[in-house]
Amino acid sequence: MIQVRELTFTYPKTPEPAVRGMDFTVGEGEIFGFLGPSGAGKSTTQKLLIGLLRGHGGRATVWGSDPQAWGRNYYQRIGVSFELPNHYQKLTALENLRFFASLYAGPTRDPMELLDAVGLADDANTPRRGLFQGHADAADVRACAHQRPGTVVPG
């Protein structure tokens, strides 16, 4: 599903690579996370895998193709949760999930089902800014699972 071999990336005007020689494979149905100190290349690798950065060395494939080769269909097949999510603080957890569901073509999962799956059904009408950080993080991850993606890339 995701295969990364000798992945490297250097930002313009920086002498050292942000990612150097990264290797990993994520199979279908696996849950995978990045652990490491600040500056280790976790967010950069995520951005490479979702096509926000281009010009990497090595090989990175999702479903057998480089993310740069995918068209708009790619974004209908993946779910992404960023380290600093772009959720609306004044909207409730339920309103945020409904908004993000509206961005996808085709059928999406019921937002209440997603909240219930992480034990947040009772917080559905709580504004995001009023949620405990752990609850807000759980809601953020559920937001990227609306369209039953083939791949979820957590932040």
| pLDDT reported for residue 151 | 47
| pLDDT reported for residue 123 | 86
| pLDDT, one tens digit for every residue, the chain (155 residues) | 889 999 999 999 999 999 999 999 988 877 777 788 888 898 899 889 888 888 899 999 888 888 777 777 777 777 666 555 556 778 888 887 888 777 777 778 888 888 888 788 898 898 877 777 776 666 666 565 555 555 444 44
Distance CA 2, CA 28 (A): 8
Buried/exposed code over 41-75 (b: 16+ C-beta within 10 A; e: otherwise)? bbbbbbbbbbbebeebebebbbeeeebeebeeebb
Residue (of 124, 75, 130, 126) closest to 103 by Cα position: 75
| pLDDT reported for residue 23 | 95
Angle at alpha carbon of residue 22, lines to 51 and 85, rounded to 5°: 45
Judged by DSSP in three states, 145 sits in coil
| pLDDT reported for residue 85 | 55
pLDDT in tens, 102-120: 777 777 888 888 888 878 8
| pLDDT reported for residue 130 | 76
